[in-house]
């Protein structure tokens, strides 16, 4: 396994981020969502490097095989971890692709680190611009929705993760867009996360306002969202992104749920390849 050191925890232990690096060419960095790890990008890692791209995917702290410190799950720290990845691998002219929670890391990195090393950004089913309903964000998600998530994690995190996975992929009584094997695979990834990371990151993506971060982005941007996303509803996220991005191409995937990197993998791969290539 390959790891990148991202500082130390409060006890002086090294924090290591598990990553994979595939192919040669223009660099693309894939940032996974909550509560999975970088292996969620399996169909992108298996396809994008075939087209002259160097594709890097890493697991954020607290999840998968990365280190699991008790602290550091705010977006400033997570953006700093992303910077360490780009700096350590000395990547230039990067396309950042953030899925769900990972879209927040993209936005915060661009503002906090001035977009260093980055040529383009893509937001896929992202939590940006701001999920929580507040006085100045009246169309956001009400606080009780996030309170229920935290309560269910506290009650039985593993039962929550199994139920969450069904909504994630749009599985219902009549809708079976993915197999039971995919649900089991996703649950396995999610269950590897630490309890603290799962809880703290849920607070982070629910409560962080990325509108100021998005206003700093001056590179070409791609926004992709499914109109049947029940996890991060399109009206709270994708549909509002072009209000905040100066150069954004907005693609709506009809009938797609949150986990469209699986359900719409071929479509997503085509769109990412076209975006990186410049069309």
pLDDT class for 279, splitting at 50, 70, 90? Answer: low
Q: Which entry of 66, 100, 194, 237 is annotated as an active-site residue?
A: 100
CB 217 within 8 A of CB 192: no
% of the chain with per-residue pLDDT over 70: 100
Catalytic residue, from 229, 237, 244, 271: name it. Answer: 229
Question: Residue 90 catalytic?
Answer: no
- Number of domains present in the structure of the chain: 1
Cα gap 113→164, rounded to integer Å: 33
Q: Residue 263 in contact with residue 170, Cβ under 8 Å?
A: yes
Q: Is 45 left (phi over 0), alpha (psi -120 to 50) or beta?
A: alpha
Q: Is 173's pLDDT higher than 90?
A: no
Q: One of 66, 225, 258, 271 is an active-site residue; which one? A: 258
Enclosing domain of residue 45: 2-277
Is residue 100 among the annotated active site residues? Answer: yes
Model confidence over 261-273: pLDDT tens digits? 999 999 999 999 9
CATH number at residue 233: 3.40.50.1820
| Known catalytic membership, residue 148 | no
pLDDT-derived band of residue 175, with 50, 70 and 90 as boundaries? Answer: confident
| Crossing angle of helices 143-168 and 195-207, rounded to 10° | 120
Encode pLDDT of 234-249 as tens digits. Answer: 999 999 999 999 899 9
């Amino acid at each position: 396994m390959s790891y990148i050191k991202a500082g130390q925890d409060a006890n002086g232990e090294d924090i290591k981020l598990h990553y994979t690096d595939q192919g040669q060419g223009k660099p693309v960095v894939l940032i996974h969502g909550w509560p999975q790890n970088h292996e969620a990008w399996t169909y992108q890692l298996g396809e994008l490097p075939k087209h002259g791209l160097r594709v890097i995917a890493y697991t954020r702290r607290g999840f998968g095989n990365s280190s699991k410190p008790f602290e550091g799950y705010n977006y400033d720290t997570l953006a700093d971890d992303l910077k360490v990845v780009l700096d350590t691998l000395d990547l230039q002219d990067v396309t950042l692709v953030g899925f769900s929670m990972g879209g927040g890391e993209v936005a915060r990195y661009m503002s906090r680190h001035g977009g260093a090393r980055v040529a383009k950004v893509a937001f896929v089913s992202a939590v940006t611009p701001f999920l929580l309903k507040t006085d100045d964000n009246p169309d956001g998600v009400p606080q009780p929705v996030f309170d229920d998530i935290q309560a269910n994690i506290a009650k039985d995190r593993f039962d929550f993760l199994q139920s969450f996975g069904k909504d994630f992929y749009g599985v219902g009584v009549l809708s079976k867009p993915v197999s039971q094997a995919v649900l089991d695979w996703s649950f396995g990834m999610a269950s590897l996360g630490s309890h603290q990371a799962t809880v703290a990151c849920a607070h982070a993506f629910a409560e962080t306002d990325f509108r100021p971060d998005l206003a700093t982005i001056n590179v070409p941007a791609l926004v992709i969202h499914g109109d049947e996303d029940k996890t991060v509803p399109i009206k709270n996220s994708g549909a509002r992104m072009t209000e905040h991005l100066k150069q954004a191409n907005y693609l709506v995937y009809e009938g797609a749920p949150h986990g469209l990197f699986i359900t719409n993998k071929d479509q997503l791969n085509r769109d990412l390849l076209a975006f990186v290539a410049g069309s």
